[in-house]
Amino acid sequence: MRNIEVLFFDVLGTTVDWRGSITAEVGEFLKRHNLGRIDPARFADAWVGRYDASVDPIRAGKRSFVSLDQVNRENLVASLEEFGLSSASLPPEELEDLNLSWHRLKAWPDLGDGLSRLKSRFIVAPLSDGHARLLVNLSKFNNLPWDFIVGADMSQAYKPMPQVYLRACELLEVQPENAMLVAAHDYDLEAARRCGLTTAYIVRANAEDPSKVGNQKAQDGWDYKAKNLLELADMLQ
Amino acid sequence: MRNIEVLFFDVLGTTVDWRGSITAEVGEFLKRHNLGRIDPARFADAWVGRYDASVDPIRAGKRSFVSLDQVNRENLVASLEEFGLSSASLPPEELEDLNLSWHRLKAWPDLGDGLSRLKSRFIVAPLSDGHARLLVNLSKFNNLPWDFIVGADMSQAYKPMPQVYLRACELLEVQPENAMLVAAHDYDLEAARRCGLTTAYIVRANAEDPSKVGNQKAQDGWDYKAKNLLELADMLQ
């Protein structure tokens, strides 16, 4: 193994169960508004399914950076319309609270113990399309013991743009070859590998991103492949 | 009390006992090199005493931002010369290790419990002239449970420049009036207050900065004044 100093972790899907968490909050929201006829899992996938198309103009430099709160808010309104609902007919503060369900995504059960073990040897830090405040709120909600937090607002870029990975390494004064990305998505690992980072693939149920359909066959060839952070900690011991 | 969401903490002096820690490491270094005739406390104060003059050109925009590692390294060489020693006569890796003693400063004894209590209600984050990696190393060394880390390299500025405080608030998406600076130095609190932050003065023995002689009389008029973080946690309950 190379001399790894820093482990970066993808968050949405890898660290937290976004699909399960969003579906649960959407379900409660729909029930409260007598919209039980709508399937919350389908609504959640529709909501996130708009993600890639929304972020692409930012990746391409055609739109200035806006945070995930803003992207999610726009896509929530569009998804409501897709399901025949008008956002104007719903209380704005309730829509805002639903949008903030992204700050309350639940961590996978291995996270606390896995991070505690890994942080005794490495610097552990999320590296996410989420912005700093979202990541701080998520971490407090789940009691995650990160050593440092890198949000998309700190590079003003979204994955898989190389500046995301390179800015994170620069902030922690680590050479890319001394850093590893831990993620449940191939496109993310591929981009990190192109920047020189070591890669660890974590197999997560429910982590597929509906905005990236057709690009989901798990690849091989990553430096590590583990079923969770505890297994990864064993491998890196 | 205003609706405070975030507590920022000064680090050098307020969170860690820099003077005691640097003096101890300098003492060991001098002993190892048969330089026991030099008083480590005087050497440590001479080293830090050069800090302000070194950083002033950066504050004034006359020198590009360099991190505290670089500033400390230059001032270590100058201090050795001041004490009649040539840095060229000492092993470079030992000098580098001595310079990294700033990454191993010991936290005051109330830090762990104090932060744990405060973080149950607030976001807690260091706000320091130290850069991100130095703060990460310090935090791991002392097992400090920060929610977020703001280093000087993230604003590319040194205290008391307003962008230090404003950039930190921006990163955490908090209005200055919903943030508080906790510090043992008046000039820091004064600058934070000018940016709109609430202020809490912590009385620390050994926190005086020898580079700011003549400006050390503790002022009154801060929003809070406590002898340590445990007393501050009581006050904010």
pLDDT digits (tens, 9 = 90+) for B139-186: 999 999 999 999 999 999 999 999 999 999 999 999 999 999 999 999
Q: Which of A103, A125, A140 corresponds to the end of one domain?
A: A103
**Do B153 and A171 count as a contact with CB atoms less than 8 A apart?**
yes
Measure CB to CB from residue B147 to each of A139, A171, A172 and give the nearest one. A139
* DSSP class of B228: S
Name which of B119, B137, B118 is nearest B11 in CA terms. B137
- Does B225 score more than 80 pLDDT? yes
Identify whether residues B187 and B163 lie together within a single domain: yes
Q: Domain check: are B68 and B133 in the same one?
A: no
Query: Where among B103, B129, B152 does a domain terminate?
Result: B103
Say yes or no: A183 and A227 in one domain.
yes
B125 and B218 part of one domain: yes
pLDDT of residue A218: 60
Boundary (domain end) residue, out of A36, A69, A103: A103
Say yes or no: B112 and B41 in one domain. no
Q: Does B167 touch chain A (CB under 8 A)?
A: no
Q: Which of A191, A212, A219, A206 is nearest to A15 (CA)?
A: A206
User: Do A163 and A195 reside in the same domain of the chain?
Assistant: yes
Q: Would you state the pLDDT for residue A205?
A: 76
| A172 near B CB under 8 A | yes
Q: Are residues A12 and A49 in the same domain?
A: no
Provide the residue range defining the domain that includes A99. Answer: 18-103
Q: Is the pLDDT of residue B233 over 60?
A: yes
Single pTM value for the model: 0.94
Q: Angle, nearest 10°, between helix axes A40-49 and A18-32?
A: 120
How many interface pairs between A and B have CB atoms less than 8 angstroms apart?
45
Interface of B with A in 136-155 (CB under 8 A): 136, 139-140, 145, 147-149, 151, 153-154
**Residue A1: inside a domain, yes or no?**
no
Structurally, chain A folds into a number of domains equal to: 2
**For the segment B42-58, what is each residue's pLDDT rounded down to a tens digit?**
999 999 999 999 999 99
C-beta neighbour count of A53 within 10 angstroms: 11
Residues B184-197 have pLDDT tens digits of 999 999 999 999 99
User: B170 lies in a domain?
Assistant: yes
pLDDT value of residue A224? 97
For residue B74, give the CATH number of its domain.
1.10.150.240
Q: What integer pLDDT is reported at residue B110 of this predicted model?
A: 97
* Gap from B24 CA to chain A (nearest CA, Å): 25
Q: For residue A140, give the chain B residue with the closest CA.
A: B147
Three-class DSSP category at A126: strand
Written as six digits, the tokens of A149 are: 């937090």
* pLDDT level of residue B205 (50, 70, 90 thresholds): confident
Q: Are residues B126 and B219 in the same domain?
A: yes
Contact residues on chain B for A140, CB-CB shorter than 8 A: 119, 123, 147
CATH number at residue A121: 3.40.50.1000
Chain B partners within 8 Å of A131 (Cβ):
173
Q: Are residues A121 and A219 in the same domain?
A: yes
Q: The tokens 């880390």 sit on which residue?
A: B149
Q: What is the ipTM of this complex?
A: 0.93
Find the closest chain A residue to B121 by CA distance: A140
Residues B215 and B98 in one domain: no
Q: Is residue B208 part of a domain?
A: yes
Alpha helices in chain B (DSSP H): 18-32, 40-49, 51-59, 68-82, 92-99, 111-119, 132-142, 152-155, 162-171, 186-194, 229-236
Give the dihedral of Cα atoms B228, B230, B233, B237; nearest 10 deg. Answer: -130
In a domain, B173, yes or no: yes
Quick check: is B25 in a domain? yes
**Would you state the pLDDT for residue B215?**
46
Reading chain A (237 residues) residue by residue, the pLDDT tens digits are: 689 999 999 999 999 999 999 999 999 999 999 999 999 999 999 999 999 999 999 999 999 999 999 999 999 999 999 999 999 999 999 999 999 999 999 999 999 999 999 999 999 999 999 999 999 999 999 999 999 999 999 999 999 999 999 999 999 999 999 999 999 999 999 999 999 999 999 998 766 666 654 445 567 799 999 999 999 999 998
Does any domain span residue B1? no
